[in-house]
Amino acid sequence: MTDMAASPSPVHLRPGVVTAVVLAIFALLFLAGIGFGSTWIPLETVAQVLLGGGEKTSRLVVLQLRLPRVAAAAIAGGAIAFAGYLLQRITRNELASPGVLGVVDGAALGVVLFMAIFSNDTNSLVVSVAWQPLAAALGAIAAVSLVFILSGRQASSAIRLLLFGIAVAAACKALTTIFMLVGPVYQAAQAARWLAGAVNTINATEIQLMLAVLIPTGIVAAIAARHLPPADLDDTSSRSIGLNLPLYRVFIFFLAALLTAGAVAFAGGVSFIGLMAPHLARLLVGRARLAGILTSILLGAIILIGADLLIRVAFAPLEVPAGTVTAVIGAPYFLYLLMRKDNTNG
């Protein structure tokens, strides 16, 4: 696999300054996402409500109707971007992402199977929806595991990983479609909404479940990321500094799959954020580890919040899934990276 360090490196500003600027953009977009709706709420009013003030009507609209939607987009986008950062660093390939390696489609299959297996004759779940993230995690982990099993000894090859990732993703998509067709209409409708990546119906309870999965996973992933620079070494060099690289890779893939599953279990099959955000972060801050992680997370949140805000502006009063925007933007971006890598290798 071609080392990402081989790609052209632009001149970077101080990573801390760049991260601070991205954080400011995120904060403004977060407030704008809450302020925009059927009626515009000024940003200062939104800030007052979030700080505990504001009138009763404003508090109702902000806290119960709009904040869950924007918070879900921020949490999901950040988690998927973090997963993409881990995958790109551990594989040393800027094309690696949860979507390209089949993680998102594996999670989709897990969710659809969950709804199919645990729905009764009235199309209601017979178990708590709290189990849905586990179903997504199992599907995601199974998909990425299959990719690397099929890749075998040549798992370090970028092209081989991409080909098997695309193949596994396609198989998961086909199976997901089959279960949607043979299942009740309710399951098909729920699955269609999930696959499109909609955040408009996520409630506070679902956000709490997302955080229950993502916070501990994110902490463990941040601790594990301390060893990512040595992971750029080969197996022999890694053993010389006490790092079991094959086992470490498996652990990182597991964490990336869990981060993705915890996000998409409720936000849906949002695509390409895990590809775009880490790559853009690397262009902005270089290979600085802490700044790279924080900037990737913030950019992932910005992309999904921005996508949701864009469809609210462009298609109001219709509710179009935010995942359609990330797919429209991400697909050409992926092709650009693929062609650039091909030209570089050539």
Cα separation of 339 and 325, whole Å? 22
How confident is the model at residue 11, as a pLDDT?
Answer: 44
pTM: 0.83
How confident is the model at residue 180, as a pLDDT?
Answer: 78
Q: Is the peptide bond before 133 cis (omega within 30 degrees of 0)?
A: no
Give, for all 346 residues of the chain, the pLDDT tens digit: 444 544 444 445 688 899 999 999 999 999 999 988 777 888 889 988 988 888 888 888 888 888 998 999 999 999 999 999 998 888 888 888 888 778 888 988 888 888 888 877 776 778 887 787 788 878 888 898 898 888 776 655 556 777 888 899 999 989 988 887 776 655 666 667 667 777 877 888 889 888 998 999 999 999 999 877 665 666 666 667 667 777 787 788 889 888 988 888 788 778 789 999 999 999 999 888 899 999 999 999 999 999 888 888 776 666 677 777 787 787 787 777 777 765 655 4
Cα separation of 126 and 120, whole Å? 6
- Beta-bridge mates of residue 119: 125
Domain extents for the chain? 13-345
How confident is the model at residue 246, as a pLDDT?
Answer: 73
The residue assigned the tokens 């659809």 is 112
CATH number for the segment(s) 13-345 = 1.10.3470.10
